[in-house]
Structure 1
Amino acid sequence: MITELDTRTLLAVLCMALALSSLALALLYRLHRSLPGPRDWAIGMVAISVGVGLLYGRNVIPPFWSIAVANALILVGHAFLVAGARRFLGRSAGWPLLAGIVIVFCVPMTLYHDVPEAMGLRIISISIGMALLVFLGTWTIIRDSRFQLLNAHQAVAVLLTLHGILNLARAAQTLLEPVLATDMLRLGPSTSTFFGWGILFFFGLTVGLAVMVTERLRDLLQDRLVKENAARCAAEAALQEQRNFLTMVSHEFRTPLGIMAASADLIACNLPVDDQESAEELDRIHRASRRLGNLVEGCLADDWLESVSQSRRSGELDVGAVLAELAKEYNVVLHGAEEPLPVDADPYLLPIAFSALLDNACKYTTTPEGVTLSCRQEGRTVEIAVRDDGPGIDPADVSRLFEKFYRARRTQHKPGAGLGLHLVQRIVALHEGNVRLEQTHGTMFCVSLPVLEA
């Protein structure tokens, strides 16, 4: 009676362990639907848990369900576990072989489910069937696994091997010792030991399968990182080649452009006063050479900015002092900046941005006095404004104003390459600031920079 109670208790615990394993594998499949294998594992574990539950209901439900159907579900569940392992390792499920094993070893249980004296035959059949299935899974894992220290594939293979050996030992014991009992729960300590092992086996198998999925995701992530790193290195190499080519071409353009400009100046000096047609052609040559020269200089400046953008120098810089020097250079009036306005900036990059804004303003203003420069502190930011009284910017061009090589329609007749404002935005962004356009009273570009805290 004590043996019966212990066996039934272990069988109940095994049912609960299988239910928890089924839930865990179902969640694993839900989280990783794209991976082959977890779906089959979840189906197999559910089938085994239902089969063991039917075994637990023996003497309550008809023998066909508690013997034939229960043992068939246990074999089918093992087949799904093996098929999932094969698919997880990139092989075909091998259902013809798995289905053949299930069918062959289900026949005795189906034919003799209502014969109490055939208990031993049923035990031998189910034990050998499970042993063959798990050995097939072990062979698949051994062939396709990369054996390393503390590898989950090794742990699962060891568990499957032990499970198969214990099933064969159970079949051999049953074959050598005739079974006198007609109820599985009264077979003695060997059955209790087998159920206890089942609890440990299915718990360990669930953990091992989950760790196998984790290792697969880790390997996929490492492979993706390697590929992305290789792609990044290739892109950086291509970008560097492009920069080298652009620098070489831009540098080589300077000499012929200088020759063109010097030759045009020489011809203009010796040109008769009344030769208006030649004077117009020379003027066209001057404009074209200036436009191309500006384009070359802009390309070189943008390429240089690309190379220093990742490592700009940092230091305290008085914006007021920088603007005062630029105001003298461009002959404009500076408003504000009576007190030092320190910012964390590159002492070479930031003046380039202000110089580009002033150069644009002087280029498009209608009168030399129409350009104004102002600087003031508002809270924790420094506001720099460059205003001109030029024709302004068409609203249709505002959205593309800071794009590389873009020029507004109203400025096509002016020299330039469409890189000035692009460089301004890049430099200001490197200093964690922003630049915006306002056209309420003329055209005004406002730059905001964070004040350097003491």
Structure 2
Amino acid sequence: MLLVKTLRSSTFRLALIAIAAFGLIVAAIMAYIYFGTLAYVQSQVGDTGDHAGFKHMIGLAMAAVAVLLLVLAGLAAVLVTRRTVGRIEQINATSRAIMLSGLDKRIPLRGSHDEWDRVAENLNQMLDRIETLMGEVKQASDNVAHDLRTPLTRMRGRLEKAYHNQRNGEADAALIGDTIADLDAVLGMFASITRISEIESRARKSAFRTLNLAEVAGEVVELYDAAAEQVATRLSLGDDHEVPVTGDRDLLFDAIANLVDNAIKHGRAGGRVNVTCRSSNEGAVIAVADDGPGIPADQRDHVFKRFYRLEQSRYTPGNGLGLSLVAAVARLHGAAIALHDNVPGLTVQLSFPSHLP
């Protein structure tokens, strides 16, 4: 049984192929040396038969050397093949462990820095990326469930109350209006998801035009001026009136609007929000600054993920998609996005290149 298993193993088959290849090479070399030696001896001694014993001795020596080389070649082939197949089996074992227990397993490295270590490193990096994406999907799903549970529960309660009121002849228009508002919020969440996906697929780049970024920012400030007044926030726009940039006007408007909306909602009441636009040697820059609580440094890389919300923002209206949309618009325009301390508060800066990537 062991013999059959050995004969069927890939190690044995690869070893046979390697030995056969080495054997052919050794045979060719031995034949070349043998006949070359005979030709040399014959040219020196002449065709007299005096070299018959010498010929026999050379043949025996060559045969012994050939056998020795074949044995050494076979051993080398087996060792190399076993090492190769061993690494493949190690990768297979890790793959099976991942399928059975999860994505936390990794292929061990031997520190040899050879091709197999590089393959293992690439596979491990791929697994890291997959694990990160799966974690983000899980986090997004948990956040969606959390954010949808509250409005759906409210809607059910209101509809039930409206149903009982209607049976008693007391139809409540306010309850129905609130329910419609909650439904609009849920539908808006799914519309935002669709919009972000559309932006990330680069399906809207056909609408790119050269435009004045300061003008778009001015329209956003004008739109949110009333909302800022309601919470006694001073909303202002910088003085640079000509900031050319190439992009999609509607998407840029949405991105700036989300930044201003966040600054008003999460800034302090009675505070200030300042929007500035300027041209630079590298392109165009727009920044939205507030004097609110800001975002902790260790969470700034996460706020651009879909549905991610800071714990203190859980009870503020929103769905955690605004900054995700801003990040998607920035990527589409080749812009760099950065968060800085405003001491106090936060500054979100978008830097657009002078030429599209």
TM-score by length of 1: 0.42
Select the residue among 37, 40, 47 that pairs with 1:57.
37
Show the 5 A alignment for 1:1-20. none
RCO greater where, 1 or 2, for CA within 8 Å and sep 6 or more? Answer: 2
Tell which structure's C-alpha radius of gyration is larger: 1
Take 2:324 and 2:57, find their aligned partners in 1: how far apart are those partners? 78
Residue ranges of structure 2 left out of the alignment (5+ in a row): 1-13, 42-50, 70-147, 166-174, 226-234
Partner of 1:392 in structure 2?
A: 294
SS of 1:406's equivalent? Answer: coil
Tell me the equivalent position of 2:27.
47
Mapped partners of 1:354, 1:384: distance in 2: 9
C-alpha distance 403-282 of structure 1, shift in aligned 2 (>3 A):
same
Matched residue, 2:120: none
In structure 1, list runs of 5 or more residues that go unmatched: 1-33, 78-252, 271-280
In structure 2, what is the Cα distance between the partners aligned to 1:388 and 1:359?
Answer: 11
Question: In 2, are the aligned partners of 1:406 and 1:419 still within 8 Å (CA)?
Answer: yes
Output the CA distance in 2 between the equivalents of 1:393 and 1:354: 18
1:3-43 CA distances to partner (integer Å, 9 max, x unpaired)? xxxxxxxxxxxxxxxxxxxxxxxxxxxxxxx9995774354
Q: Deviations 1:130-183 (Å, cap 9, x if unpaired)? A: xxxxxxxxxxxxxxxxxxxxxxxxxxxxxxxxxxxxxxxxxxxxxxxxxxxxxx
Question: What is the CA-CA distance between 1:328 and the residue it aligns to?
Answer: 0.9
- Aligned pair in 2 of structure 1 residues 426, 37: CA closer, same or farther (>3 Å)? farther
Q: Name the Cα RMSD after superposition.
A: 4.3
CA offsets 1:411-453 (integer angstroms, 9 cap, x no match): 1111222211111111111111111111232111010001259
1:314-373 deviation per Cα after TM superposition (whole angstroms, max 9, x unaligned): 3212111111111111123210322x2222212222222111111111211223651110
1:430: which partner in 2? Answer: 332
Question: Secondary structure of 2:207's match?
Answer: coil
1:41-440 equivalences under 5 Å are: 41-58=21-38, 59=41, 62-67=54-59, 70=62, 260=155, 292-309=186-203, 311-331=205-225, 332-338=235-241, 340-367=242-269, 370-440=272-342
Residues 252 and 329 in structure 2, CA contact (< 8 A), matched pair in contact too:
yes
Which residue in the other structure is 1:451 paired with?
354
Tell me if structure 1 keeps the 8 A contact 2:255–2:329.
yes
CA distance in 1, matches of 2:283, 2:15: 52
CA offset at residue 69 of structure 1? 5.9
Please identify, of 443-452 and 295-304, the stretch whose mean Cα deviation from structure 2 is larger. 295-304
* 8 Å Cα contact 2:306-2:324 kept in structure 1: yes
Residues matched between the structures, number? 229
- Alignment partner of 1:337: what SS? coil
Per the TM alignment, residue 70 of structure 1 is displaced from its structure 2 partner at its CA by: 4.7
Identify, as 1 or 2, the structure richer in helix: 1
Counterpart Cα distance in 2 of 1:36 and 1:312: 60
1:64–1:404: structure 2 CA closer, same or farther, 3 Å change rule?
farther
Call closer, same or farther: CA 1:403–1:285 in 2, change over 3 Å.
same
Distance 1:336 1:43 in 2: 83
Secondary structure of the corresponding residue to residue 348 of structure 1:
helix
Per the TM alignment, residue 295 of structure 1 is displaced from its structure 2 partner at its CA by: 2.6
TM-aligned CA distance change 1:310 to 1:292, over 3 Å: closer
Structure 1 residues 285 and 313 mapped into 2: Cα distance closer, same or farther (>3 Å)?
closer
Between the aligned partners of 1:362 and 1:49, the Cα distance in structure 2 is: 84
Give the match for residue 22 of structure 1. Answer: none
* Aligned 8 A contact 2:199 2:332 in 1: no
Compared with structure 1, are the counterparts of its residues 346 and 45 closer, same or farther at alpha carbon in structure 2 (3 Å cutoff)? same
Query: What's the CA shift string for 1:175-226, capped at 9, x where partnerless?
Result: xxxxxxxxxxxxxxxxxxxxxxxxxxxxxxxxxxxxxxxxxxxxxxxxxxxx
2:214, 2:243 within 8 Å by CA — same for their partners in 1?
yes
Matched AA of 2:237:
L
Judge which range, 362-371 or 304-313, deviates more.
304-313
The answer to whether the 8 Å contact 1:371/1:389 transfers is: yes
Q: Which digits, 9 at most, give the CA deviation of each residue in 1:96-144, with x for residues without a partner?
A: xxxxxxxxxxxxxxxxxxxxxxxxxxxxxxxxxxxxxxxxxxxxxxxxx
